[in-house]
Amino acid sequence: MKNKRVIVGLSGGVDSSVAAYVLKEQGYEVIGLFMKNWHDDSVTISDECPWLEDSNDAMLVADKLGIPFQTVDLSVQYKERIVDYMFKEYENGRTPNPDVLCNREIKFDVFMDIALELGADYVATGHYCRKATIQKEGKDVHQLLAGVDTNKDQSYFLCQLSQQQLVKALFPIGELTKPEVRGIANSQDLITAEKKDSQGLCFIGKVRLPEFLQQQLKPKEGVIVEISDTLDAYHKPIPCFDSKTSELAFHSTKPEYSLSQGRVVGKHQGAHYFTKGQRKGLAVGGTKEPLFVIETDVNENVIYTGQGKNHPGLLRSVLFVNNEELHWVREDLALADGETMEVNARIRYRQPLEKGTLYKVDSGLYVEFENKQSAITEGQFVAWYIDEELIGSGVIS
């Protein structure tokens, strides 16, 4: 029998390098593919892992492992599907998550198509997560499970994958911890063994986001307003609800702010450069506790802030996901209108899982958390789990 062919997305980092090594040890026919997603070097911080150095490292790893290697240029698709989308979201005052999108749109779509054209049976990445397959009513159902290394678990970034994408996906290092991965890389003398983990947009390297945004979104000066935690809106009595849905709607609605409710404490260069929960970059001193962004108004170009991380403007217990932006990895577990489900959920990467309940209504899905969450941010993804399995996700509306 011919060995199954796997195409590994070699990024020039240690995780994908070891993923390729593990697959080769498991007897697969492995091919390394480097995705070039970006051409404009003016916005990358030049000495922080530009793609050239990464593709070179990926090539050296492939050479060391004795596997074929090639580079594919996906910058056109990346610009259309990720970058343009990001700008549009920022302009509309939402905060996108390019990494989640990159996995859904680039690595497990455009890249996967190229891999399948090259005769691949599977596509593999260096993500810290696992895949399992169970039988349900005679059919294969694929599960997306958290990585064994709880400190590094990256299942959240894959929360938008579908059954069709998972069937072809392999995650070879999901059973390993980061120190084990580095240990393997060292024992195999791979050039990436001690390489720092890359931060920033996936496959672009470190990008100065404000400058990146400024190329497209023109700066415009506006005011920074501080809202006191004694604002009436935070202390209005909770009405009696005639249904759970109206209660959820009430708690998921955020306060509307106006200039008259606070005091001007500074200026900024564009509300669209800021995101909820942000503390850095405000350049306003003299407050007892640090200021956090509690809301941005891109239409009026105003940033609303509050003192301290427990400011009531940051905290909310319910969020909503529209039907159009609701996604089930486990389609067989999707809720029908009126159904509920106890889950653990997170609203950002590396946040500890929080207890919550899903409520399906005709227009979408409410997620109600047991504890109030800080800086629930429109445009970001909420992902929900049962035990260690990620079963669905959605864009916070």
Catalytic residues: 102, 202
First-to-last CA distance in the chain?
A: 50
Give the tokens for residue 180: 């084990």
Nearest Cα neighbor of 161 from 175, 171, 151 is: 171
Nearest Cα neighbor of 176 from 58, 15, 23, 26 is: 15
Nearest Cα neighbor of 223 from 179, 282, 174 is: 282
Cα(83)–Cα(37) distance, rounded to whole angstroms? 10
Region at 250 (left for phi over 0; alpha for psi -120 to 50; beta for the rest):
alpha
Radius of gyration (Cα) for the chain, nearest Å? Answer: 23
Nearest Cα neighbor of 330 from 389, 382, 396, 394 is: 389
Cα(29)–Cα(20) distance, rounded to whole angstroms? 10
